[in-house]
């Protein structure tokens, strides 16, 4: 039985030898979140292949079968495996070896833990979910509240998204009754985004008679993207989403105010 320093949530392995660590990992992997700091070698085989020579890294094994191998620098783990992997710890010739395997796609990460610096496990109680705002779905809502942000006289035509012809962001009608396909981007738009719009516009033109306009709505549109839009007879409009959201909020607040007035 491995000797531990314990607190309510944390178990820290006292003896950093391969045997004690093996026992600890066998007991904890897949059950609690395990952190290992170790000098290690890493090999990955699957969709691609990689090798990582000996060095110190921080390794996280989450109870859902997520693996993260982090070096001292950078956001991305140097090796990883998404949730669903199965962990296995054992000794080979006295060296502690941990593997993480998944199927679909079949992939394995093999870690040889040459020298252990720290081994611990944690019980994470967490009932909270991230509440995010400002994603593209939110911007769609903003445009429904303030269709004039596309252009004066523009109106959104119901849930056209679900008609099965193609998952267009927003379809509406302009001042002069012409159909308008709008592609919404929360970030700067590039040529690839122009092509996405082009595809939707072409499909819409094929599906129905009459003029169909295409508008790319983004905080910024690159020079090449602009030229490409020109070539294709498509348009763009730049939007400051922060300001647009405020505007939409104002509309909603004004609506509430008038409601309050009506109540009084």
Partner DNA sequence: AAATAAATATCGTGA
Partner DNA sequence: TCACGATGTTTATTT
Q: Which of 4, 58, 114, 251 binds a copy of itself (CB under 8 A)?
A: 58
Q: Parallel, antiparallel, or unpaired for β 95-102 and 67-70? A: unpaired
How far apart, in whole angstroms, are the C-alpha atoms of residue 229 and residue 237?
Answer: 11
Site size toward a copy of itself, by CB under 8 A: 66
Q: Which of 7, 53, 72, 74 binds DNA (CB under 7 A)?
A: 74
Q: Which of 3, 117, 144, 252 binds a copy of itself (CB under 8 A)?
A: 117
Query: Cα 88–92–96 angle (5° rounding)?
Result: 60
Minimum distance between the CB of residue 72 and a copy of itself, rounded to whole angstroms? Answer: 4
Minimum distance between the CB of residue 236 and a copy of itself, rounded to whole angstroms? Answer: 17
CB contact at 8 A, 239 and 150: no
Residues 189-228: x where in contact with DNA by CB under 7 A, - otherwise, as a string? -xxx---x--x--------------------x-xxxx---
77 Rama sector, left if φ>0, alpha if ψ -120 to 50, beta otherwise = beta
CB contact at 8 A, 74 and 58: no
Q: Which of 133, 152, 164, 223 binds a copy of itself (CB under 8 A)?
A: 133
Asked if 247 touches a copy of itself (CB under 8 A), the answer is no
**Measuring CA to CA, how many Å separate 210 from each of 20, 166, 230?**
75, 18, 20
Minimum distance between the CB of residue 128 and DNA, rounded to whole angstroms? Answer: 13
13 vs 201, which CB is nearer to DNA?
201
154 vs 228, which CB is nearer to a copy of itself?
228
86 Cβ contact list (under 8 Å, min separation 6): 30, 65, 100, 101, 102
How far apart, in whole angstroms, are the C-alpha atoms of residue 1 and residue 32?
Answer: 17
How far apart, in whole angstroms, are the C-alpha atoms of residue 56 and residue 77?
Answer: 13
Q: Tell me which of DNA, a copy of itself, none is bound by residue 104, counting a contact when its beta carbon lies within the kind-specific cut-off of 5 to 8 angstroms.
A: DNA
Q: Given the rule CB under 8 A, which residues bind a copy of itself?
A: 5, 7-10, 12, 16, 33, 35, 37, 39, 47-58, 60, 62-64, 66, 68, 70-75, 78-83, 117-118, 120, 122-135, 186-187, 191-192, 195-196, 198-199
């Amino acid at each position: 039985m491995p000797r531990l320093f314990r607190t309510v949530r944390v178990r820290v392995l006292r003896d950093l030898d391969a045997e004690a660590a093996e026992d600890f990992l066998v007991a904890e992997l897949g059950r609690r979140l395990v952190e290992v700091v170790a000098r290690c070698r890493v090999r990955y085989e699957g969709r691609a292949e990689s090798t990582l020579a000996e060095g110190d890294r921080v390794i996280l094994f989450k109870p859902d079968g997520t693996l993260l191998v982090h070096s001292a620098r950078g956001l991305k783990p140097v090796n990883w495996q998404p949730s669903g992997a199965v962990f296995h710890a054992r000794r080979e010739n006295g060296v502690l070896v941990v593997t993480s395997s998944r199927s679909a796609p079949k992939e394995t990460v093999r870690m040889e833990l040459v020298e252990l610096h720290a081994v611990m496990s944690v019980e994470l109680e967490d009932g909270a979910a991230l509440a995010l705002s400002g994603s593209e779905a939110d911007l769609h809502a903003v445009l429904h509240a303030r269709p004039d942000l596309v252009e004066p006289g523009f109106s959104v035509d119901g849930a056209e998204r679900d008609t099965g012809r193609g998952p267009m962001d927003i379809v509406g009608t302009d001042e002069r009754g012409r159909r308008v396909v709008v592609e919404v981007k929360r970030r700067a738009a590039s040529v690839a985004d122009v092509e996405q719009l082009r595809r939707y516009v072409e499909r819409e033109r094929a599906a129905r008679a009459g003029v169909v306009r295409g508008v790319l709505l983004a905080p910024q549109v690159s020079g090449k993207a602009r030229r490409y839009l020109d070539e294709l007879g498509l348009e763009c409009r730049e939007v400051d989403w922060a300001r647009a959201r405020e505007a939409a909020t104002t509309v909603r607040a004004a609506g509430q105010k008038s409601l309050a007035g009506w109540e009084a």
